[in-house]
Structure 1
Amino acid sequence: MKPDPSTLIATLGGQPQVVTFTLDLLLAQGEQIQDVVIVYLASSPRYYQAARLLAGEFAGDKYKQRAIHFRSVPVQWGDKKLEEARTRSEVEAVRATFFHLFSNLKAQGQRLHLSVTGGRRIMSLLALSTAMHHFTTEDQVWHLYTPDAIAEKARDGAMLHVPPEEEVHLISVPLVPWGSYLPGLRPILGTSVQEIRAQGLQDSLERDRCRQVWEKLTARQQDVLAQLANGRTRQHAAQHLAIAITTLDSHKTEIFRHCQFVWQDEGAKIDIPFLRERFKPFLLGLGVV
């Protein structure tokens, strides 16, 4: 009995042959691949070149005379293509890309093959963790083993296909599909950090960061932070605290300075909306707001 039609999703860096080697091996196993989707970061011209080389292999939605549709999915962050995944917000953008891709394909009833050999390591890690939410026992994760000599010959797409006798082969990567075994967990597993914050919840790292800032502030600066985090405007906060708005702004500058230091690895924009998003759950926990 033939396997059901399926989709190959692959993380991509500068080595397009990783995708074609994987696809060739899956087709040789009898898999009925109908779609190939590559996910990549737009950080290097090599990545664009790799994507273009791959697209050329699927001209007219044909791959070696088989009907296979190809598409590329650059990771988006807002309205721009993401170049790197260094900060928490950028990592969340990568996770969200995989989350929506897997979710949409599974909603269409697709069987999925995930190749995690190409691209940045953070891409593979996030693809794996997100696959746990959506994959079923019918889906599969693969790593491609390529001998060093072949890898060198094929570097940068110089060789997109290898003869069957070469020692290139696929390794099945074990994955526990928690979303399939425990479907009630799916809404929780798929919740982003931003959604958690919007629900008034907070992870331990965020609590620790908020506490670091809070404990550095004077009593008056804490009052100002509490007012702004609770949604008051600068004018209303100043009136409520019976201080001049220039005094409030002076306290706000110090609050921002401490936040910039504590959240410097995230590269977040420090402003009043940031204070509301990050500090309101923390202050609710303290009973301050």
Structure 2
Amino acid sequence: MRPGEIVVAVEQVCALIEEQFPEWSDLPVVALPLSGTDNALFRLGDRLTARLPRAPWAVDQVATDVAWLPRLAPHLPVPVPAPVAVGRPGADYPWPWTVVPWLEGRNPQAGEELVGLAVDLAGFVRAMITIEPMGGPVKDGIERGVPLGWRDELTRRSIAALGDRIDGRAVGAAWDEAMAADEWPGPPVWLHGDLLEGNLLVDRGRLTGVIDFGGLGRGDPAVELRPAWSLFDARARVAYREALGFDEATWARGWGWVLSVSLYWLADLWDSISPDDREETIRYIDHVVRHRHD
């Protein structure tokens, strides 16, 4: 556990439901495996999920989900977890929390036939891009979706910190190439910001839902290209690229984002992650460098 992180027990969730939403108090509460980094999830009957932040840095997402997901959902081609109720602190739990619909599906796995998913996910990204701004939050600082150049210093510092643990020359050349790409020419668009396989739901190879909008905001859509390398094989990557219709500069910024996030994570957490995680991330970085033009 990281500093500030808490454990949320089934008994606490039952008490919160009993106190704040008695109409659901007869529904069974079942803890779901911890697959993400920020929230504890509990199945509430057959149709609902209680979603409770388990660290201070995840609390702001409650307000973001409540404010924006109900407004975005009608414009999207698949369901998203728009909150149906908002809970308050209680039962020794310190923060606001939400109840969202249970969305059917499972997470996709690398190595499966994912061309259909690639096309569907591109449709989701295109739908997000076309939604009116509605005054939504614009990415700033070094968040995913800001102009990639804003992360240049951070990324070069990460490359230097990793030293000979990575192929610094090849990674540096790839990063230079990404930095030379033109910036996104249009206004900031709506982004999910974290399209990892754990945030995608599929059934029989097709997209059925997208979850965990902790990275929601408006910015450069190049960050949505991450699945091209983190999940898709060469065929699915081509299908994703063609269905998105992004230009060469956006594609370059896309793999630049993958490198930047991975390098920073690896350099920052080198001493606290397992050797297997280190080696896997190094292989991933090498994969992106070698296949960035595929």
TM beyond 0.5: no
Normalising to structure 2: TM-score of the pair? 0.29
Normalising to structure 1: TM-score of the pair? 0.29
Bigger CA radius of gyration: 1
> Higher helix share goes to which structure?
1
